[in-house]
Amino acid sequence: MKTMKDIARLAGVSQSTVSRVLSGSAGVSPARKAKVMEWVRKLDFEPNFSAQTLAAKRSLLIGVVVPDLMNPYFAEILAHIEKHAARNGYNVIISNSAGDQKREREIIKSLKARQVDGILIGLSSPEAPLLEELKEQKVRTVIFSQEYDGIDCVGVSHKKGGALVAKHFLAEGIERFAFFGPAKDDKYLGFRETLIGAGIQKDKIEVIGNEDWWLTMLDRGLKSAIEYLSSVNTDLKLGVFSVNDPFALGIVHAAQELNLKVPEEVAVVGFDDTFVCLNVRPTLSSVSQPIEEIGRLAVEMLLKRIDESESNSKENHILLEPKLIRRETS
Amino acid sequence: MKTMKDIARLAGVSQSTVSRVLSGSAGVSPARKAKVMEWVRKLDFEPNFSAQTLAAKRSLLIGVVVPDLMNPYFAEILAHIEKHAARNGYNVIISNSAGDQKREREIIKSLKARQVDGILIGLSSPEAPLLEELKEQKVRTVIFSQEYDGIDCVGVSHKKGGALVAKHFLAEGIERFAFFGPAKDDKYLGFRETLIGAGIQKDKIEVIGNEDWWLTMLDRGLKSAIEYLSSVNTDLKLGVFSVNDPFALGIVHAAQELNLKVPEEVAVVGFDDTFVCLNVRPTLSSVSQPIEEIGRLAVEMLLKRIDESESNSKENHILLEPKLIRRETS
DNA sequence: TTGAAAGCGCTACCAC
DNA sequence: GTGGTAGCGCTTTCAA
């Protein structure tokens, strides 16, 4: 491995000069600059990032934490994050939390030890204690899955998304409802609120997979979907709203397996509008989040924070509009 | 940020002792060890990775390079790689090459500058020059997508996979064939070889999306699939073999759009057997790679290389058996 | 405009 | 067992 010292010796200048040339800081004569660059090219030199990080306290590294890499939503957003990060000279460390808070803490701790310049985090459900910690520790953080007071975030309003689905189901004349996912999710709050506001009785709204929903998720929800659908009374048309697309797919398949007609007997709407929605038959209705935009904005927000030396300014919240994309399952 | 110096001062020992305790190296009295650990816990101390990397020349970081994060195959394998890496105390830097060789070079260069302990790389098509470079540079590397002389690798034999599909098509009495993907792909070689061995005329075998197949990939192949299927003579039943699953899906949808019956008029087989195969209707036939195993083995292989101080030993090639999973599209 | 030199936080060697 | 100390490769004052 070559070092700046080598370049300096070969180019006949001091190491400081090499550093100045490479960092693009002003105050180097064109002649010396050219000489340095010549050797940099000749040796295909690249400065050691660890040394740079140690000395400059800036790693050009961002950490991304997601609860489930297999969920196409997170895979897609990771792809966009990586693209924009790379474009700005940043590398991305990816960590999968599997929706486990303990693991999330460990990850964040280790990312800090790596001196990452910032963290982008997607949560699968609201986790106040963790976010509270994140706020205390002064790591620059942007959440791309939900809102939280005192932390930068970007995303759609899940509550509004839930409300959209409720309105849609009501307009279709549906009278029984189920939500697949954690009851504390904002999506469910918006869903339920709207239904109750429209005069629906509470006993017509059910939550499935509440506590252990994450475990249920891991096999894509098929099993618990079958369990639920086979136990439910189907004399009333059922409207099922799912916390995400893979899980919604599980419901559709469960319905098919039980010979229930979709959407005539069971209407299904997912969340995220990932590309799988179009890749399945029947095509899946879903609440759309502008994934690419969210990924881009999250990176931009974080880099802006990194640039401003003082972390004085108030947090930024960017809320985009969710949209219900109606397809064949609802 | 606290440092080892702080811990040392508080615990009343030298910095060397703190270092020894934290690295678990022998030769520290239990009493002092306990005292150090007490302060480590109290301050929630975590050593600075950059400093460690710089001093020990070991980053506990591995780089993963994939051509397309949106392809479920790579998303899945990344998930497994991350899991096993984390289990062994490694973090993962993920980079998306978009199938571009220039970008791949840049990525590798920057990963080396980051002092990664090793690189796992998945390629979308054979790229001899790049791999040759990789061999020259002594970065520990494992390929998880294909075989290459002189570099460790793990995966299924794509050639065998292609042969399996050819045999299957022949057994179904199919007489016209197409391969969607780059002609230089081993999958195609095995496919074509087997067909020709069985007496099929060369003009009955076509390659679609050869040169610009990657671009085609990016919108999941639907457009060029429609283009191809609408131009082809359909009086003979067609067997289409695709380089991966998303692309195969494009063909199925194109066929549906053109009112061609799948699999009666057009049989389709994908590659990788990602979970989308089961999530679509008709369910997609595909050549299966044991994704989880490949991810695990790739990490294990790399860590073994890292452990052996000398990089003397010959390369390892692990070839797993591909399997044709027949479903509704063939 | 340039170079010398003092760190950044840690590891590892050497001496006690 | 333990502590002192010389780097690891870079950035960034400070003087010249």
Give the per-residue pLDDT at A144: 94
Give the per-residue pLDDT at A278: 85
Task: For tokens 């799912």, name the residue.
Answer: A242
Q: Read off the amino acid at residue A317.
A: H
Spanning CA of B50 to C1' of C11, the rounded length in angstroms is 12
Contact call for B50 and A50, based on CB within 8 A: yes
Give the per-residue pLDDT at B211: 61
Superfamily grouping for domain A4-54? lambda repressor-like DNA-binding domains (1.10.260.40)
H/E stretch holding B223 reads helix B222-231
In this structure, of A13-17, A91-95, B68-72, B111-115, the range with the lowest mean pLDDT score is B68-72
- What are the pLDDT digits (tens) for A146-172? 888 889 999 999 999 999 999 999 999
Contact call for B50 and A115, based on CB within 8 A: yes
Task: Please say whether the beta carbons of B249 and B159 come within 8 A.
Answer: no
**B57-156+291-320 — its CATH code?**
3.40.50.2300
The domain defined by A158-288 folds into: Rossmann fold (3.40.50)
Torsion-angle region of residue B13: left (phi > 0), alpha (psi -120 to 50) or beta? beta
Task: For tokens 């305790």, name the residue.
Answer: B21
Percentage of chain A with pLDDT > 90? 70
pLDDT level of residue B115 (50, 70, 90 thresholds): very high
Q: How far is A279 from chain B (nearest CA, A)?
A: 7
Mean pLDDT on B235-262: 90
Comparing CA positions, the residue from B297, B318, B309, B289 lying closest to residue B85 is: B297
Give the per-residue pLDDT at A241: 97
Task: For tokens 């409802």, name the residue.
Answer: A177
pLDDT > 70? residue A210: no
Its pTM stands at 0.93
CATH 1.10.260.40 region(s) of chain B? 4-54
Average pLDDT, chain B: 91
Chain B residues near residue A79 by CB distance under 8 angstroms: 69-70, 96
Residue A92 CA to residue A16 CA, distance in Å, equals 29
Average pLDDT, chain A: 91
User: Which nucleotides of chain D does any protein CB come within 7 A of?
Assistant: 1-5, 7-13
pLDDT > 60? residue A220: no
Give the per-residue pLDDT at A132: 87
CATH 3.40.50.2300 region(s) of chain B? 57-156+291-320, 158-288
Give the per-residue pLDDT at B130: 82
pLDDT level of residue A230 (50, 70, 90 thresholds): confident
Contact call for B93 and A95, based on CB within 8 A: no
Mean pLDDT on B237-247: 92
B20 touches strand D (CB under 7 A): yes
The DSSP line for A63-125 is EEEES-TTSHHHHHHHHHHHHHHHHTT-EEEEEE-TT-HHHHHHHHHHHHHTT-SEEEE--SS
Give the per-residue pLDDT at A140: 93
Comparing CA positions, the residue from B203, B219, B222, B187 lying closest to residue B324 is: B187
Contact call for B94 and A96, based on CB within 8 A: no
In this structure, of A124-128, A270-274, B36-40, B173-177, the range with the lowest mean pLDDT score is A124-128
A43 touches strand D (CB under 7 A): no
Nearest protein residue by Cα to C1' of nucleotide C11: B55
